[in-house]
Structure 1
Amino acid sequence: MSSILTNTSAMVALQTLKSINNNLNKTQAEISTGKAVNSAKDNAATWAISRVMDSDVAGFKGIAENLSLGQSTVGVARQAAETVTELLQDIKKKIVTAQEENVDRAKIQTDIDGLRNQITSVVNAAQFNGLNLVTSTATVEILSSLDRTTAGVTASKISVNSQDLRVSTAAPKDAFGANTEGLAAASDSAAFQLAATGGTGVIELDAVAYEMGDQISVTIGGKTATYTFTEADAAATSPTEVAAIGLKKAIEGLGIDGLEIDYNSANAGQLAFTNAGANTLTVNAKFTSAGAGGLGALATLDVTTDAASALTNIESLIQTAIDAASAFGSAQTRIEIQQNFVNKLSDSMRTGIGALVDADMEEVSARLQALQVQQQLGIQSLSIANQAPQSVLSLFR
């Protein structure tokens, strides 16, 4: 039966042509983007997996940069330790020469003092981006990996132990002056209370020889602020003034309600506290010395008075420097291995992501050709189907 109202053949041809056009659009999108899965609409599960892996790749890129920074930092420290070892060996040669009776030990000691000063210069300069691994005993954590499990992501780190190669002897210090509240004499700690609504108190830093790494901490109302002396602070004209200003900012950063801190440059190193709050505040101040340096015994070497002991001590100091260089070399090797692994892992993950979402261009190209032929046939079929009702006209002639 023919009908001029319902053309079933045309409807079938139209639906077929729409399907062909949809496939053709998808294929052209794959060719344009190079991806078979370009959005969650294409394949939700695969797209989600690829997004997670993309984020991991980005994370590993950041880790690779972090490892590069850590490798450079450790490399500088290793080079410093090796240089110190060579300088200590030069000092040993001088000390061996001083074992003879008919030598000018005073001149030899002058040479030793010069080499010791050079060691101090090398150690203090061995920093990378502000971090010096040969002037402290702290442990530095370097982010090395992101470990993903069903429970989430955890970070793995490489621990690098600092190696103290300072020549400092770190003599005991009475850091707080007699004007500090609660002290009858100079000391390295103090404690007092600030009464509510108007209580006052004073912390005064003594003008002593501070060293890099020395710390002053103040605990008020259960919150602690700490100031650490840098090399520049210790060498400043007025280190107490520098520390007082830095400590004032650190305490203010605690945000203690009602606490007011006054600094007057006329009293360098002195902080005046006023409690305008409703609660009594307990103040504890403590000084912590950076401690004697790992090469502290080098400062006491004196061939003019005891050449034999100097020879014994220099052997121990050389071993300390060798151990430090060895530790840094081991850590640097581990970082390099991890860095190479992270780079290869990132490449493997990118390959895996590509296998999930990238389009097979040979297949897509062949499919495009087939769909273009199907599109042409579909158009021709629709044209024929649309012409079928016109045959009814011949019945009315």
Structure 2
Amino acid sequence: MAFSVNTNASALSALQNLNGTNARLSTIQTQINTGLNVSSAKDNSAVYAIAQSLRAENAGLSAASASIDRALSTIDVAIAAGEAVSDLLIELKEKAVAAKDAGLDTASRASLNNDFIQLRDQITSIVNNAEFNGTNAVENNGDPIIAITNDDGSSQISVAPQNLSLSGSNVALTVAQEINTAALASAAVDNIESSIQNVNSVLSNLGSNANRLELQKNFVSQLSDTIEIGIGNLVDADLAESSAELQSLQVQQQLGLQALSIANQAPQSVLSLFQ
């Protein structure tokens, strides 16, 4: 073995090994701190790129889920308005049928007519206030309910507006309809009966679309969860394995420091040659 005080091959080798241990120890500590095996493009560029693409897809699905939630809330308001209108029509029919009685006295007919007018006008109030997030799907010239259903917004569910206003396509009662005579009451009964059938059809349509939105919401949620699991499979660290490796590297680091210390003392032996 050559003796030299200028070059210490053993120390250089020990230092290289120690640096390698420290570098790996730093990587393991990062994995433990972040919980990720691939936390940046430096760790694994291909896997990181795939994970980022999947994260972008999940972000789009999150926006789709929010859009579906808004649509569901809007359609729930529309259904509530439709059910309220249906209930009012039933009450209106009761008043109108009672007013058809030819033997009814004037005071009773006037009382029925007043009740009828209040119920009739309540339909307008309900329809005008059936709005959520700026969308009213049951007024005259109402707004469609639209929800995006995929990660890039290229697919959507659209629910057509349903007119529940007085004198509209579904409610045959006019804004001035009264039952202050038997003849007017009879005409009102006919209008109310057709309106009830129309409103029931509207409610059926809205209910079917609400169910469709619920199904799509569940699908988007399941798809998002699946993608999240896939991202985890790609980039998550095995913390049990990382913990075991950390213990091993810490021991190696201590041994490396000891080996470097011993190697650094080797040149001291040269002094013995001159004694």
TM-score computed with the length of structure 2 as normaliser: 0.87
Q: What amino acid is aligned across from residue 267 of structure 2 in structure 1?
A: P
1:181-212 alpha-carbon deviations (Å, 9 max, x no partner): xxxxxxxxxxxxxxxxxxxxxxxxxxxxxxxx
* 2:145 alignment counterpart: 140
* 1:270 alignment counterpart: none
In structure 1, how many angstroms separate the alpha carbons of the residues matched to 2:41 and 2:118? 70
Residue 322, structure 1, aligned to residue 184, structure 2: no
8 Å contact kept, 1:2–1:389: no
Tell me the CA shift for residue 62 of structure 1: 2.7
Tell me the CA shift for residue 39 of structure 1: 1.0
* 1:166 alignment counterpart: 165
Residue 355, structure 1, aligned to residue 236, structure 2: no
Percent of residue pairs identical: 46
* 2:70 alignment counterpart: 69
* 2:128 alignment counterpart: 124
8 Å contact kept, 1:298–1:317: no
Q: What amino acid is aligned across from residue 129 of structure 2 in structure 1?
A: A
Name the structure with the higher strand share: 1
* 2:11 alignment counterpart: 10
- Which structure's relative contact order is higher, taking Cα pairs within 8 Å and 6+ residues apart? 2
In structure 1, how many angstroms separate the alpha carbons of the residues matched to 2:177 and 2:197? 16
Q: What amino acid is aligned across from residue 64 of structure 2 in structure 1?
A: I
Q: What amino acid is aligned across from residue 39 of structure 1 in structure 2?
A: S
8 Å contact kept, 1:71–1:335: yes
Q: What amino acid is aligned across from residue 85 of structure 1 in structure 2?
A: S
* 1:295 alignment counterpart: 171
8 Å contact kept, 2:172–2:195: no
8 Å contact kept, 2:81–2:127: yes
Tell me the CA shift for residue 106 of structure 1: 4.7
Tell me the CA shift for residue 99 of structure 1: 3.4
Matched residue SS, 2:155: strand
Tell me the CA shift for residue 306 of structure 1: 4.3
Give runs of aligned pairs for residues 374-389 of structure 1, distance below 5 A. Answer: 374-389=252-267
Give runs of aligned pairs for residues 71-110 of structure 1, distance below 5 A. Answer: 71-104=72-105, 105-110=109-114
- Which 5+ residue runs of structure 1 have no aligned equivalent? 147-152, 169-291
In structure 1, how many angstroms separate the alpha carbons of the residues matched to 2:260 and 2:251? 14
In structure 1, how many angstroms separate the alpha carbons of the residues matched to 2:124 and 2:94? 19
Matched residue SS, 1:127: coil
- Which 5+ residue runs of structure 2 have no aligned equivalent? none
Q: Select 1:369's aligned residue among 247, 261, 271.
A: 247
Q: Select 1:336's aligned residue among 206, 214, 218.
A: 214
Matched residue SS, 2:229: helix
- Worse-superposed segment, 296-305 or 359-368: 296-305
Matched residue SS, 1:38: coil
Q: What amino acid is aligned across from residue 353 of structure 1 in structure 2?
A: I
Matched residue SS, 1:142: strand
Give runs of aligned pairs for residues 122-271 of structure 1, distance below 5 A. Answer: 122-135=126-139, 136=141, 138-146=143-151, 153-168=152-167
| Matched length | 268
In structure 1, how many angstroms separate the alpha carbons of the residues matched to 2:220 and 2:59? 11
In structure 2, how many angstroms separate the alpha carbons of the residues matched to 1:12 and 1:62? 55
* 1:24 alignment counterpart: 25
CA RMSD after TM alignment: 2.2
TM-score computed with the length of structure 1 as normaliser: 0.62
Matched residue SS, 1:165: coil
In structure 1, how many angstroms separate the alpha carbons of the residues matched to 2:117 and 2:227? 56
Tell me the CA shift for residue 158 of structure 1: 1.3
8 Å contact kept, 2:117–2:178: no
CA 1:70/1:154 → structure 2, altered by over 3 Å: closer, same or farther? closer
CA 1:56/1:345 → structure 2, altered by over 3 Å: closer, same or farther? same
Matched residue SS, 1:344: helix
Matched residue SS, 2:157: strand
8 Å contact kept, 1:120–1:166: yes
Q: What amino acid is aligned across from residue 118 of structure 2 in structure 1?
A: G
Matched residue SS, 1:128: coil
8 Å contact kept, 2:29–2:246: yes
